[in-house]
C-alpha cells in the first residue's frame, strides 16, 4: 500500500502545480521530472539533479519486506514489489514474511510456467502476461518478480516448475510476450534469476563452473531476449556464485554482459538476501537491494534497513570519498526510470482482479499446455455419456496446489481441484464419479500463513488404500489416476531439490495395481518435473497436467473428456533413468562448494541425441486426439549468402477426424562444423490449428544468426560456411522432413 504522505504530496504537487522540491522550480511551473510530455531521460536527469546524497542512497535499498523508498520531499513515490510469476502473492507484514491478514488480497492462480512453455504458443504467453499484469496493476504493485527463465538442467531441481524448460530458443520466444504484456499495465517484469540458478541445494553459496560457449548458447539467450526484445524494466540477480562472485553483484554478468553488451537500461534487483558485500554491490552492477538481514533465512533485527549494504555503509563510503558519485548516479537513474515507468506513470490502465476473463485465461492456458504423453488404443478422451461409473484415484485429485512451493505460493479466491472438475463435467453427462485416495502424500495444506482449509487426514493403512482403490476399479468403466508431485519440501518447491527421480509416496504400486484391475486406465501427472515411469508399458494413457492454477480441475476435465483436444508439447526431456540426464552422467549435481557443468552445451535433447540415449519422452513430444502429416518441405534456395536469409516452407495437414493443433518444429544441424556442436538445435516453431482435412503452409525464416555458435576464442558469435541440414517434425525425435543448404 502506498504511504499516505507519498500519495498526498504527489497529488498536491501535480494538482496545484506548487514546487515540492525547492531549488530548480519556478513556483507555478511544473517541474520537468513531473512533466510526462518530456522524454523519460529528461525527467530522470531533472529528478536526479534535485536529490540530496541521502535521498539518492535511500532509493537503492528496501524500506520494508517488499517495498523501497521513493523521495517524499519531491513527491516521488515508493516502489512495491510482489512475488510471482504465477499470481500476485498475498500481503505480508512490513518487516515479516508473515501474512498481513488482509481479506481482499486473493488472486487468480495461473498455470506454472512449465505449463505455459508447454503450449509452445507465444499468443498464450501474451495472454498470460496481460492477465497477470492486470492483477498486479489492480493490487498497486510496481514490480512483478517474474518470469523465470533458468534452464532445466536436471529433473531434480526443485524450482524447475517456475521456469520455461531446457531449450534456450523456446524459452526466448515464450518470455518476450509475457514481459511485453505485463509492462503494458505499467508494471515492471523482473526477469529472474540471472543467472545459472539451476539448483536449490546450497543455492546461497555454490559456485557454478560452466564454459563460455554453454553460458552464451544455453543459459543466457532467454535473458537476452527478455531484455533486448521484451524490453524488461528489471532483472533479478540469482543467489549462487559464478566466477567466484555472487550473481547479485557479479561484474561479468551485470556490468559486462547485461549493462554492457545488452545495453540494459533498467534496474538490477537482488534476490531477497542475495547481497553479501557493500563494495561488490556498489561496483558490480546491483541497483536495488532487498531482503538483507530480514530475509527469513537467518536471525535479523526489525527495521534493519539502514544497515543494508547499499544503505548506511554505502553512504559512509561516499562521504569518505571511497566511492564515486558517478556510479551512485547511474544506480539512481536506473531506479528513477523504474519508478517513472511504474509507480509514477499516470497513464497506466486500472487493472482488474479475479475477473471472469482471468479465470478463462487460466483455463485456456492450462488446457493448451497439457501434454498427452501416451494414448494407446484411443483410451482418451473418455466419453462420460457412455459410462455409468468413473473412478478417480489419487491424492493430487483433491489436494489444492496453489499453496506451497516457495515464493510462488498463492492465496487464491478460487481453485477447482481435479476431482471437482471431473465430477462436474461427468455428472452433467449422467456418469457417476467415485473417488478413492489410493495413497497418502502430504496431508498438510499451509505455507507462509496461508491455509487451504482442507482436511486431508487419513486413517487407512497404505495396503487398505490400495485394496479399496482396486476394488473400486474393478467396478468402474474407466479409471483416472491423478498423482505426480506436489509443492512440499524436496518435491516441486523452492529451497530444496528432489531426492529421487521416481514418484514419491509409493505411487508406482498404486498405478500397477490399478492397471491390473482395469485395462481402461489413464494416468494424470500433476508436476513441474519429469518423473520415472516403471509402469509405462501397463498404463495405456498418460497425461502431463502440470500445476494448472485456479482452473486446474475444469481444464483437466476439458482435456480428459475431449472438449479440448490436447496440443501441448514437452518443454524438456523425460529421461528413462536419472543417469540418462547429462548433469548426472558427466556433470555434477548438486556439487559441493563448486558445481561443474561438465556436459557443457549438451543439455536435454542435445545430450540424448549425441550420446544416442533414447528418452522416455522426447523434448517437443506431445500427442493429439487427431493426427497430422507434415510434408512437402521446400527451401527458397540451396545456397545462402552470409548477409541474407533463407525461407523454409512445409505443409501440415490434419489427417484425422477432430479439429486440433500441431506444433511444427524446425531444427538446424551444422554438418561441417570445426567445433563440436549438437546434432541439431531448435530454431523455429509454429502452432497451427486445423479442421479435419485442412492443410496450411508454415514458413520459417533462417538467418545467419540462427546458424551461429559462440566462438569463445574471440568472444563473438560466428556462423561457419558449409553444409547445414534442416529437420522439420512434431518432436525432436519425430522428424518428418529434411532439407539441405550451404551457407556461403
Q: Which of 277, 223, 218 is nearest to 254 (CA)?
A: 223
Q: What CA–CA distance (Å, rounded) separates 275 from 93? A: 22
Three-class SS of residue 109? coil
Q: 708 to each of 147, 683, 716, how far by Cα in Å?
A: 27, 11, 10
User: What stretch of H or E contains 49?
Assistant: helix 40-50
pLDDT at residue 297 in the model: 46
Beta strands in 437-532, from DSSP E residues, in sequence order: 446-447, 450-451, 478-484, 521-526
pLDDT at residue 303 in the model: 64
pLDDT at residue 294 in the model: 66
Three-class SS of residue 99? strand
Q: What CA–CA distance (Å, rounded) separates 558 from 422? A: 9
Q: Who contacts 165 (Cβ-Cβ below 8 Å, separation ≥6)?
A: 114, 117, 118, 151, 152, 171, 570, 571, 572, 619
Question: Is position 271 annotated as part of the catalytic site?
Answer: yes
Q: What CA–CA distance (Å, rounded) separates 343 from 352? A: 17
Q: State the fold for domain 626-743.
A: Immunoglobulin-like (2.60.40)
SS3 per residue for 442-460: CCCCEECCEECCCCCCCCC
pLDDT at residue 12 in the model: 41
pLDDT tens digits along 674-712: 999 999 999 999 999 999 999 999 999 999 999 999 999
Q: Which among 83, 142, 167, 271 is annotated as catalytic?
A: 271
Q: What CA–CA distance (Å, rounded) separates 694 from 712? A: 47
* The three three-digit cell numbers of residue 616, written as one number: 522416455
Query: What is the reported pTM?
Result: 0.95
pLDDT at residue 617 in the model: 99
Residues of the chain below pLDDT 50? 1, 3-28, 296-297
pLDDT at residue 3 in the model: 47
Q: Who contacts 736 (Cβ-Cβ below 8 Å, separation ≥6)?
A: 629, 630, 631, 728, 729, 730
Q: Which of 591, 736, 562 is nearest to 664 (CA)?
A: 736
Q: What CA–CA distance (Å, rounded) separates 533 from 530? A: 9
pLDDT at residue 442 in the model: 95
pLDDT at residue 300 in the model: 58
pLDDT at residue 391 in the model: 98
Beta bridge partners of 478: 390
Annotated domain spans of the chain: 626-743
Q: Who contacts 136 (Cβ-Cβ below 8 Å, separation ≥6)?
A: 82, 84, 88, 144, 182, 185, 187, 351
Q: Which of 150, 240, 248 is nearest to 593 (CA)?
A: 240
pLDDT tens digits along 91-116: 998 888 888 999 999 999 999 999 99
Amino acid at each position: 500500500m502506498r504511504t499516505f504522505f507519498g500519495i498526498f504530496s504527489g497529488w498536491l504537487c501535480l494538482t496545484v502545480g506548487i514546487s515540492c522540491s525547492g531549488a530548480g522550480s519556478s513556483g507555478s511551473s511544473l517541474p520537468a521530472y513531473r512533466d510526462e510530455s518530456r522524454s523519460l531521460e529528461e525527467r530522470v536527469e531533472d529528478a536526479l539533479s534535485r536529490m540530496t546524497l541521502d535521498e539518492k542512497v535511500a532509493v537503492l535499498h528496501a524500506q520494508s519486506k517488499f517495498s523501497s523508498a521513493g523521495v517524499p520531499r519531491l513527491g516521488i513515490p515508493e516502489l512495491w514489489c510482489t512475488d510471482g510469476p504465477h499470481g500476485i502473492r498475498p500481503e505480508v507484514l512490513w518487516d515479516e514474511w508473515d501474512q498481513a491478514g488482509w481479506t481482499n488480497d486473493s488472486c487468480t492462480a495461473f498455470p506454472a510456467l512449465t505449463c505455459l512453455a508447454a503450449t509452445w504458443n507465444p499468443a498464450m504467453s501474451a495472454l498470460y502476461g496481460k492477465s497477470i499484469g492486470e492483477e498486479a496493476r489492480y493490487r498497486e504493485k510496481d514490480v512483478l518478480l517474474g518470469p523465470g527463465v533458468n534452464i532445466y538442467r536436471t529433473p531434480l531441481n526443485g524450482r524447475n516448475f517456475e521456469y520455461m524448460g531446457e531449450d534456450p530458443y523456446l524459452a526466448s520466444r515464450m518470455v518476450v510476450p509475457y514481459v511485453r504484456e505485463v509492462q503494458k499495465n505499467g508494471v515492471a517484469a523482473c526477469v529472474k534469476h540471472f543467472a545459472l540458478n539451476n539448483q536449490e541445494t546450497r543455492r546461497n553459496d555454490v559456485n557454478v563452473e560452466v564454459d563460455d560457449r554453454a553460458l552464451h548458447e544455453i543459459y543466457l539467450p532467454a535473458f537476452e531476449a527478455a531484455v533486448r526484445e521484451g524490453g524488461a524494466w528489471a532483472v533479478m540477480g540469482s543467489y549462487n556464485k559464478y566466477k567466484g562472485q555472487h550473481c547479485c553483484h557479479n561484474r561479468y554478468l551485470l556490468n559486462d554482459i547485461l549493462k554492457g553488451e545488452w545495453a540494459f537500461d533498467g534496474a538490477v534487483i537482488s534476490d531477497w538476501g542475495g547481497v553479501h558485500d557493500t563494495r561488490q554491490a556498489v561496483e558490480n552492477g546491483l541497483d536495488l537491494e532487498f531482503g538483507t538481514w530480514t530475509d527469513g533465512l537467518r536471525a535479523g533485527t526489525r527495521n534493519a534497513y539502514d544497515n543494508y549494504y547499499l544503505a548506511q555503509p554505502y553512504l559512509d563510503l561516499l562521504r569518505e570519498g571511497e566511492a564515486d558519485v558517478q556510479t551512485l548516479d547511474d544506480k539512481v537513474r536506473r531506479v528513477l526510470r523504474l519508478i517513472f515507468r511504474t509507480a509514477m506513470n499516470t497513464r497506466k490502465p486500472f487493472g482488474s482482479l479475479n475477473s471472469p476473463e482471468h479465470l478463462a485465461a487460466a483455463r485456456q492456458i492450462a488446457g493448451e499446455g497439457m501434454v498427452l504423453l501416451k494414448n494407446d488404443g484411443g483410451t482418451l478422451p473418455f466419453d462420460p455419456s457412455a459410462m455409468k461409473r468413473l473412478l478417480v484415484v489419487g491424492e493430487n485429485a483433491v489436494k489444492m496446489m496453489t499453496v506451497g512451493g516457495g515464493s510462488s505460493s498463492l492465496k487464491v479466491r478460487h481453485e477447482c481441484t481435479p476431482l471437482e472438475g471431473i465430477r462436474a463435467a461427468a455428472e452433467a453427462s449422467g456418469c457417476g464419479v467415485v473417488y478413492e485416495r489410493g495413497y497418502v502424500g502430504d496431508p498438510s495444506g499451509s505455507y507462509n500463513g496461508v491455509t487451504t482449509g482442507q482436511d486431508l487426514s487419513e486413517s487407512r493403512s497404505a495396503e487398505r488404500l490400495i485394496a479399496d482403490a482396486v476394488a473400486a476399479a474393478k467396478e468402474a468403466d474407466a479409471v483416472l489416476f491423478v498423482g505426480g508431485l506436489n509443492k512440499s519440501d524436496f518435491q516441486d518447491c523452492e529451497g530444496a531439490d528432489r531426492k529421487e527421480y521416481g514418484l514419491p509416496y509409493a505411487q508406482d504400486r498404486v498405478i500397477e495395481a490399478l492397471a491390473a484391475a482395469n485395462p481402461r486406465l489413464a494416468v494424470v501427472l500433476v508436476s513441474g518435473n519429469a518423473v520415472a515411469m516403471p509402469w509405462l508399458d501397463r498404463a495405456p494413457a498418460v497425461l502431463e497436467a502440470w500445476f494448472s492454477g485456479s482452473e486446474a480441475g475444469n481444464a483437466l476435465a476439458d482435456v480428459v473428456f475431449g472438449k479440448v483436444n490436447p496440443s501441448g508439447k514437452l518443454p524438456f526431456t523425460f529421461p528413462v533413468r536419472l543417469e540418462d540426464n547429462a548433469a548426472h552422467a558427466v556433470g555434477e549435481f548438486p556439487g559441493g562448494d563448486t558445481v561443474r557443468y561438465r556436459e557443457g552445451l549438451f543439455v536435454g535433447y542435445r545430450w540424448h541425441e549425441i550420446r544416442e540415449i533414447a528418452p522416455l519422452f522426447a523434448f517437443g513430444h506431445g500427442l493429439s486426439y487427431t493426427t497430422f502429416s507434415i510434408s512437402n518441405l521446400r527451401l527458397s534456395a540451396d545456397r545462402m549468402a552470409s548477409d541474407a536469409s533463407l525461407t523454409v516452407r512445409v505443409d501440415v495437414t490434419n489427417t484425422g477426424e477432430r479439429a486440433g493443433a500441431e506444433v511444427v518444429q524446425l531444427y538446424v544441424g551444422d554438418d561441417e562444423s570445426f567445433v563440436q556442436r549438437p546434432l541439431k538445435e531448435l530454431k523455429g516453431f509454429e502452432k497451427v490449428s486445423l479442421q479435419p482435412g485442412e492443410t496450411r503452409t508454415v514458413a520459417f525464416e533462417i538467418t545467419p544468426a540462427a546458424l551461429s555458435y559462440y566462438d569463445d576464442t574471440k568472444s563473438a558469435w560466428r556462423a561457419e560456411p558449409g553444409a547445414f541440414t534442416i529437420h522439420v517434425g512434431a518432436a525432436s525425435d519425430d522428424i518428418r522432413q529434411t532439407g539441405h543448404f550451404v551457407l556461403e
